[in-house]
Chains A and B, each alone.
Chain A
Amino acid sequence: MFWEFLRFEVRSRLRQPTVWLFTAVFALMAFGATTSDAIIIGGAAGNTAIDAPIVIAQMLGVLSVIGIIVVTAFVATSVIRDFEQRTYAPFFTSPIRKHALLLGRFFGSLAMAWLVFVGAAAGMLIGSKMPWLDPQRLVGTGLDAYAWALLALVMPNLLVMGAVFFAVGTLTRRVLFAYVAVAGFFVIYVVSQELISGLDNDVIAALADPFGLTAVAVDTRYWTVAERNSQLPSTGTLLVLNRALWLGIGAAALLWTQLRFRLAVPNESGRGRTDEVAAAPPVEVPLPKVHIASGWRVSMAQCRHQIRVELSGVLRSTAFGVIALFAALNTLGGMYASIDDMFGTPVYPVTSLMVRLIDGSIGLFALIVIVFYAGELTWKERRIGLAEVYDALPMPSWVPIVAKLVALWAAIAGILTVAVLCGVCVQLSRGWTHLDPLLYLQGVYVIALSQWMLVAALAIALQAVANHKYVGFLLMAGYFVLLQVLPLLDFERALYRYGSSPSAPYSDMNGYGHFTTGLAWYRLYWALAAVLLLVLAGLLWPRGTDQRLRLRLGRARANLRGPLLLAVLAIGAAFASVGGWIFYNTDVRNRFVPSDEAERLQVLYEERYAQYGGLPQPRITAVELHLELYPAERRADIRGTLTLVNRTASPIETLHVATFPDFDLRALTVPGASVTHQDDEVGYRILTLEGPLQPGASTTLEFDVGFAEPGFVERDSVTSIVFNGSFLHSTDFVPRIGYDRGGEIADPNERRKRGLPERVRMADLDDASARANTYISHEADWIDFAATIGTSTDQVAIAPGYLQREWTEGERRYFRYEMDAPILDFYAFLSARWNVARDRWNDVAIEVYHHPEHDMNVARMIEATQASLSYFTENFGPYQHRQVRIVEFPRYASFAQSFPNTIPYSESIGFIADLRDAEDVDYVFYVTAHEVAHQWWAHQVIGADVQGSTVMSETLSQYSALMVMEKSYGREQMRKFLAYELDRYLSGRGREIQRELPLIRVENQPYIHYNKGSLVMYALREYIGEETVNRVLAEYIRDAGFQQPPYTTARDLVERLRAVTPADRAYLIEDLFETITLYDNRTHRATARKLEDGRWEVEIDVETHKVRAADDGTEAEVPLSDLIDVGVFVEREVDGVTREVPLVLDRHRFESERETITMTSPERPIRAGVDPRVLLVDRNPEDNLRPVEFLD
């Protein structure tokens, strides 16, 4: 019987085109994702192969998430169909058939969903064999990887989703509730994705993700490229647990359906049955005479009434209540998860953050609601059997369209309102009372809602045109895919991607700034398009009972005449005019550079001018600038004079100058020089000096550039000059001397594709010729600096140096800054309205320029600056300036950067950190200390332009910050901080796009010079002592500070450290700096026995491994003779709270793989094991310790 139903289901499905359509679409998506970089699903990055097993697993796994559509279309509806099509009676004849019917239907339709994904896997497999793929990016993975992905991820996912949707759909007999379950799955998925950002939540996140993708991600997050390319992601225990959990849920859902399902004739909703009234005596009331009116006013009234009916249908339905609940959970989940912004430390729930989170968390959710509700609303009358009556009513076809659209809009507005209420609750629950209702209104109800309204109009229009619910869904899915794919196929203009507009990032300092103008024009443009779409929908509205497209087209042609035609033409003209106005702004008043074009220019730049790479050029020795900033007009005029000196031994005849396309170069003059080559396409000029510049002689280069961005642009709007919070970097506008390798394309895949030769990312560590320059600048060594900045009267302007004079001239306010000592060729300018907090450390003035509302952590920044200045001057050497200024800038970028005596600091990385909980990592303190440390490490000692030089700037700043932080916060917080550093380093390795290098050869790779750097320096300090390390650093600064070429390298630093490292731990320098060394330490058993003197004898059974990784990630074990801490965790009372703290008992030299060690603990141990503080890089630090078993 079961087989009969199954066969019936399969046969009837296979006869419909839908199965084949879905199979084709998914196979094409998989094929496209494999064969072009344009479609990215999961996907390969950097050196991970296109067909690596993990990529196959991720891609098919992500497709299975999208497969939710397939499952809802096939499985969820397999029994509901009987009710909707009223064919239930013949099937429901005997109760014995119930189980067979349900299971047959379920597995029959599930088999169809599986079939679709076998098609997708085939699409990938075939795609990976295509001849045009770069063979270097393929590894020729076998069928086992596809089988693994299908069996471990895809099929269980479809089964679980199918079982739940089937249960919900079958038991409620309402397909809408199955959609609600779909939304539920997405909520769980999204929340689990967000949970994973916190280090402690990964197990919960891995288990909670119904699709198993998070489990795979957690299991494989520290995989190197080599592992990614060769191994099946099958080993993880998390995935096994996840699958067991969700398959259990699926089975339970099926069982529940079996138990609860009744073979009964449906009763619409099951509640509130009204009994037949007793036959009352007939009341022969005469029917009154009424008047039937027509015309515009009647239509309006009809529309109003229909809106009311649709609204009450949507808003009062249980389904909407459940959706709103999910929306609330989704938003709250997002808010609680994302509020842990850095190192697990939350930020204050400012309204702009809430708006951003609502926008992010409601996005996917609103789309689901729009797509599914559009289908439900459009076909509501058909579904309930009212369509014939409804269609024969005397109202124009626009009435139902408008009414349904408005109901859909109201549903989205309702969900956004739920999200806003959640935001307000989160704010209040965290004690944040500075609510900003206007920002909620602007960000949620204007900017976000208007976007969804456009999408909703499209969804309704597509439903009307398709005249079929699931085809309408598929068209919407196609629209979303196109939206993503078009830009990658070089169709990137928002002008032809429906609903697209420039983004409008919000900053507390600058609000929505100038971004709203462009956004408003694009929204207007698409709103007009939406009206046209709706007119089309009205013309093609399937009214009545015979609605073949040909007939509807014929009728549409017939109806498109008279005033309607005129209106359509008028709206079309308005649409075209607004489009024209947008084009005029983005392409005529400004320049639109397609991303491909930018890369093409990079290629040209390299091809034409790389030949001048090593050409001797004069050095910049002094800079004198005059900036006129007009923040309100977003305009700047900049004049400058560069003093150039020939430091080479031979005369220089030509001067090579690179200029910037965003800035309009009005003048570029060198006395006695003429322009002999001018390339405005890529921005390159060659000036020939009349008399060559003799060795030691100097000259000047004067330039005059202007910046303006009139009207609006579509993207990449310049954020360095804004209404409030301008931040200009010298490298943005000062003409550069000589050819700069930094302008070349770096991504090796992209270079291969464009036929460029292989490129060395950085000069070799021992390349002596590269030591002529620092890694910061190719044009200068140390320069004299002075600048005058004019800005609007309500703003303050800041540049490196000391303020000499401030004055007002008309409506302009001027500031003159001069630096009293030479600095690196690295400076910036800022202008905004700030409040200033001032303090001192000895004779150093400390100033924090902050947004008036961002005063929460200013005191911390000052404390951190004081602590830093104190530690660094004591341990490294004197501070070269008399002032430290921390200057806030808008969140268009989120970093802090150290310029001479000036530290621009993004509003997003500390000003709103919530540091009320003393347990949390104080990253404001850390970031501030790191930036202050740069005044020594970068602005005093700067490495040559070779591998490893960021060790001296970034790694040493990390070390310096760690030391200051440890003094203030203790070792316990360091352990927490370093756990994040370890996680970031290990996951960074897997994302490497070229190759991982040992620290000494780091090629500006953040996960190495920051995260591994912290671990390395902290471990080194633990093994050789803080005093020793600092002594070396102090000597190093004395010798290498403010040096002239040749510049120092990491080799110099490492040799100094080697010299002070005791012979018994000399291996450390090799392990930490010169190789990629990892440990796999674990404790198998830990036992303890109480001694008579009250102490504890602890015995641990430990296994240790040490491996070296090659730069492609392959690992080889190396013999070990290392000193590794052994110890215990004991319970201690700290500030009234019982806490586990590590106690290092011994530093043991491990000589063999497996050892049993006995040690004595003064306190009762809780856990015991090896490397308790995780000083060494270990991929599984959690198995270093074991709970202690007590032997009596």
Chain B
Amino acid sequence: MTHALTIRELTKTYGNGVRALKGIDLDVPPGMFGLLGPNGAGKSTLMRTVATLQDPDHGSITLGGLDVLRDKDATRRVLGYLPQDFGVYPHLDPLSLLDHFAVLKGIADKGERKAMVEALLQRVNLWDVRRKRLGGFSGGMKQRFGIAQALLGAPRLVIVDEPTAGLDPEERTRFLNLLAEIGEQVVVVLSTHIVDDVADLCAQMAIIAGGEVLHRSEPRDAIDGLRGKTWRKVIDKADLAQHRERHTVISTRLVGGRTVIHIFDEHDPGHGFAEVDPDLEDVYFTTLRRAA
């Protein structure tokens, strides 16, 4: 009953000449899958294409035996989708709007619909405000509503774009748990810039940039691959340019007013650099640097 999402040679060029996808090949097994990439990487194009919202120029997408690009209606019946920008009808309340979405999703049985809607509202902690107008909701509350609608029905493919933006830490945890729970049986594609989300949750991940897949691995393997090759040093801001010339600087960040840099080097570079235990962020930036 579980099927993988298979993406083959997906290309897309927009009307204004922007080549958003340049031949994406990706196998996404059931479970949580993290999609990392900078702005303009083609993430959203890829997500929307998988979510049946637009057609590629070439390529194929299948979910098990289902041809996503051809049989859109069948795909939509098993799809849960939460885009980055999500609005609601302001005059409705969560209960009626979620029920409305349930009907549109095709949950025809009234009893099933009621149970599902009520369960979801409790899971996203909107049960107490289920009869309040959505127009008055804060951004986080709307986001939680968005999560609820994405999980309606019996999705086999869930696509969520920046889902944890605007959630407080507790909400985030709860949401990730929810995803993880359904993620055991279905394909969940999580597009995010929060590397920790992927690190915490995803068994598999890919990094895309410039319309291409730069990296595809399990996060743990990727991190292991960088072990012994990532180095850290605290420097003066004035010295940053000099360091950039000499080393492959993965990332710079400010810690207590001083600049901390990570570099990639197969060997110990010396000069005050200390080995550091790499994390997924190092993987991400290393991948992008190498591609640049």
Contact = CB atoms under 8 A, between A and B. Distances in A.
Interface string B107-120: 11100110110111
Interface stretch (A279-287, A961-969, A1022-1030): A279-287
A286 B119 contact: yes
Contact of A291 (B108, B135, B151): B108
Interface stretch (A310-318, A1047-1055, A1179-1187): A310-318
Interface in A306-347: 306, 309, 312-313, 316-317
Given A294-B106, A306-B104, A269 B54 contact: no
A394 interface: yes
Interface stretch (B28-36, B124-132, B215-223, B260-268): B124-132
A269 B90 contact: yes
Given A384-B89, A385-B87, A292 B77 contact: yes
A551 B86 contact: no
Contacts of B78: 292
Contact of B48 (A283, A305, A388): A388
Given A272-B136, A392-B53, A548-B15, A298 B123 contact: no
A284 B81 CA distance: 22
A301 B89 CA distance: 19
B136 A292 contact: no
Given A272-B136, A274-B136, A285-B122, A389 B107 contact: no
A649 interface: no
A392 B76 contact: yes
A316 B93 CA distance: 14
A298 B108 contact: yes
Interface string A601-638: 00000000000000000000000000000000000000
A544 interface: yes
A46 B251 CA distance: 82
Name which of A288, A298, A380, A548 has the most chain B CB atoms within 10 A of its CB: A288
A767 interface: no
B106 A293 contact: yes
A546 B53 CA distance: 8
A301 B14 CA distance: 36
A394 B120 contact: no
Given A280-B125, A285-B119, A386-B89, A545 B54 contact: yes
B51 A388 contact: yes
B106 A394 contact: yes
A530 to B, nearest CB: 25
A805 interface: no
Interface stretch (B137-145, B197-205, B235-243, B282-290): B137-145
A280 B128 contact: yes
Interface residues of B, number: 66
Contact of A393 (B14, B88, B101, B112): B101
A286 B119 CA distance: 7
B37 interface: no
B103 interface: yes
A919 interface: no
A389 B48 contact: no
Contacts of A380: 89
B191 interface: no
A1190 B74 CA distance: 94
B103 A301 contact: yes
Contacts of B181: 287
B278 interface: no
B136 to A, nearest CB: 4
B103 A305 contact: yes
A973 interface: no
Given A287-B119, A312-B91, A544 B54 contact: yes
A555 B72 CA distance: 13
Contacts of A73: none
Nearest to A317: B91
Contacts of B104: 302, 305-306, 390, 393-395, 399
A280 B129 CA distance: 12
Interface in A803-851: none
B119 A389 contact: no
Contact of A274 (B51, B81, B82, B132): B132
A555 B52 CA distance: 13
A271 interface: yes
Given A274-B141, A287-B151, A393 B107 contact: no
Contacts of B245: none
Contacts of B48: 388, 544-546
A1058 B81 CA distance: 97
Contacts of B87: 384-386
A385 B146 CA distance: 11
Nearest to A383: B87
A399 to B, nearest CB: 8
B88 A392 contact: no
B183 interface: no
Interface in A391-406: 391-396, 399
B23 to A, nearest CB: 18
Nearest to A550: B15
B149 A389 contact: yes
Contact of A551 (B55, B103, B135): B55
Contacts of A392: 51-53, 76, 79, 81
* Chain A, interface residues (CB within 8 Å), range: 35 or more
B233 interface: no
A289 interface: yes
Contacts of B115: 288, 290
Contact of B108 (A269, A289, A301, A313): A301
B221 to A, nearest CB: 32
A277 interface: yes
B83 interface: yes
A267 B115 CA distance: 31
Contacts of B128: 277, 280
A750 interface: no
B35 to A, nearest CB: 17
A389 B123 contact: no
B92 A287 contact: no
Contact of B55 (A280, A395, A546): A546
A732 interface: no
A880 to B, nearest CB: 76
Nearest to A288: B115
B52 to A, nearest CB: 6
Contact of B92 (A286, A309, A395, A399): A309
B141 A287 contact: no
B5 to A, nearest CB: 15
A26 to B, nearest CB: 29
A306 B101 CA distance: 9
A268 B113 contact: no
B172 interface: no
A269 B135 contact: yes
B227 interface: no
A294 B137 CA distance: 32
B112 A288 contact: yes
B107 A309 contact: no
A302 B103 contact: yes
Contact of A313 (B82, B89, B126, B153): B89
B150 to A, nearest CB: 8
A15 interface: no
Give the 9 A-B residue pairs with the shortest CB-CB distance, closest first. A385-B87, A394-B76, A544-B53, A384-B87, A546-B54, A388-B83, A293-B108, A268-B135, A394-B77
20 contacts: A268-B90, A268-B135, A269-B90, A274-B141, A277-B129, A284-B123, A285-B122, A288-B116, A288-B119, A290-B153, A293-B106, A294-B106, A305-B104, A309-B92, A312-B92, A313-B91, A384-B88, A386-B89, A388-B48, A392-B52
Interface of A: 267-269, 271-274, 276-277, 279-280, 282-294, 297-298, 301-302, 305-306, 309, 312-313, 316-317, 380, 384-386, 388-396, 399, 543-546, 548, 551, 555
Given A284-B123, A394-B79, 15 more contacts: A268-B135, A268-B136, A271-B136, A274-B129, A280-B125, A287-B116, A291-B107, A292-B107, A306-B100, A388-B86, A390-B104, A392-B51, A392-B53, A395-B106, A555-B55
